[in-house]
Amino acid sequence: MRKMTILSGKGGTGKTTITASLAVLSSEAVLADCDVDASNLHLLLKPKVKETIEFKGLNLAVIDPEKCIQCGLCEEKCRFDAINDFVVDSIHCEGCKVCVQICPVQAIDFVERVCGHAYISETRYGPLSHARLIPGMENSGKLVTLVRQNAKKLAEEGGHELVLVDGPPGIGCPVIASLADIDKGLVVVEPTLSGIHDLERALELLEHFKVEPLVCVNKKDLNEENTEAIERFCSEKEIDVVGLVPFDPVVTEAMVAGKPVVDYAPDSPSSRAIGEMWETVKSHLGI
């Protein structure tokens, strides 16, 4: 089984557009949306949810005002500024349990909290593992891990040879979680100075976790000089630029129609470029 995460460092470069289109072109893959706090893949793949799994993150400390003697020890020891006036602020509580441990009168309960839901779904293009973090909750990394594991299980059970993972933006905890146990990382970059800066950090991250990088330049004609700079930079690092996708207004039209662009407008310039990229990616994946 081969697994590829589509990531970007910078947000909004076209990860989801590319992932959804590769899902159509592969026709065989299990899909995973690891952007659990701002997921979008479902808006293009229109899943039918078959199974919902409650996701419990870390517990929450709750002070019982009846038992509390207002000694202030918990407030002093909490390193997350989550306790003020003998009340725990659920948004800032990390669930570390220190306050529960040190309370001299056992006035603090440690209760489970649901932080989100994971879903197993069916789409026109294959099975989809996805999730929704309850806005503002911690632990998106753990929920990402659950989504990734669910996708792997779906692939094993259904005999699929490919898992395509739509990654979150950034390079922190959820991105790291979306790269565990992955063969290739396809970085989608726009030819802007910010995009190049973020690409460099995303490539460093892939190197750090020993995931083999591939690069796709999206909206390549926005700044041809920068596109050439990206190609030069990648060639120096011996990283393959597998796709050059032009700016194409049809991408937004497809999004409004709720369809992957290669399905919505297969002959559009962007769809043709994504199609060519898919052939190259396949050879890299050895499928």
Partner 1 sequence: MKIAVASGKGGTGKTSVTVNIALSLGKVQVLDCDVEEPNVHILLRPTDEGTFPVKLLVPKILEEKCDYCGECARFCQFNALFVAGETAMVFPELCHSCGGCSIVCPRDAIIEEPRNIGRVVKGSAGDIDLIYGEINVGEALAVPVIAAVKDHIDEGSTIIIDSAPGCACPLVETVHGVDFCLLVTEPTPFGLHDLQVAVEVVRILNIPMGVVVNFAGIGDREVYDFCEEQDIPVIMEIPFDRRIAELYSKGIPFVEAMPEWRQRFRDLVGLIGEEVEK
In the chain, helix, strand, coil percent, each to 5?
Answer: 40, 25, 35
Binding residue (CB under 8 A) for partner 1 from 181, 258, 279, 283: 258
Closest to partner 1 by CB, 89 vs 279, is 89
Q: Return d(Cα 39, Cα 24) in angstroms, integer.
A: 18
* Contact range with partner 1 by CB under 8 A, out of 158-166, 205-213, 230-238, 272-280: 205-213
With CA atoms as reference, report the closest residue to 164 among 28, 12, 11: 28
| Chain residues 148-167 in contact with partner 1, contact rule CB under 8 A | none
Collapsing DSSP to helix, strand or coil, 130 comes out as strand
Collapsing DSSP to helix, strand or coil, 96 comes out as coil
Site membership for partner 1, residue 179 (CB under 8 A): no
The 3-class secondary structure across 61-79, one letter per residue, is EEECCCCCCCCCHHHHHCC
CB atoms within 10 A of CB 136: 9
| Residue for token pair 């005002």 | 65
Site membership for partner 1, residue 213 (CB under 8 A): no
Collapsing DSSP to helix, strand or coil, 128 comes out as strand
CB-CB contact of 223 with 192 (8 Å): yes
- Read off the DSSP letter of residue 231: H
Binding residue (CB under 8 A) for partner 1 from 63, 155, 175, 274: 175
Q: Return d(Cα 95, Cα 99) in angstroms, integer.
A: 9
Q: How far is the CB of 144 from partner 1 (least distance, A)?
A: 10
CB-CB contact of 242 with 216 (8 Å): yes
Residue 185-204 contact track with partner 1, rule CB under 8 A, x = bound? -----xxxxxx-xx--x--x
Binding residue (CB under 8 A) for partner 1 from 31, 55, 95, 242: 95
Binding residue (CB under 8 A) for partner 1 from 75, 138, 166, 248: 138
Binding residue (CB under 8 A) for partner 1 from 68, 71, 73, 102: 102
Q: How far is the CB of 43 from partner 1 (least distance, A)?
A: 5
Site membership for partner 1, residue 220 (CB under 8 A): no
Site membership for partner 1, residue 72 (CB under 8 A): no
- Read off the DSSP letter of residue 268: S
- Read off the DSSP letter of residue 222: G
Site membership for partner 1, residue 24 (CB under 8 A): no
Site membership for partner 1, residue 174 (CB under 8 A): yes
Q: Return d(Cα 140, Cα 18) in angstroms, integer.
A: 23
Binding residue (CB under 8 A) for partner 1 from 21, 226, 270, 271: 226
Q: How far is the CB of 5 from partner 1 (least distance, A)?
A: 16
Interface with partner 1: number of residues (CB under 8 A) = 63
Closest to partner 1 by CB, 162 vs 217, is 217
- Read off the DSSP letter of residue 134: P
List of residues contacting partner 1 (CB under 8 A): 8-13, 16, 37-40, 43, 58-59, 77, 79-80, 91-92, 94-98, 101-102, 133, 135-138, 140-141, 168-176, 190-195, 197-198, 201, 204-205, 208-209, 222-223, 226, 249, 252, 255-256, 258
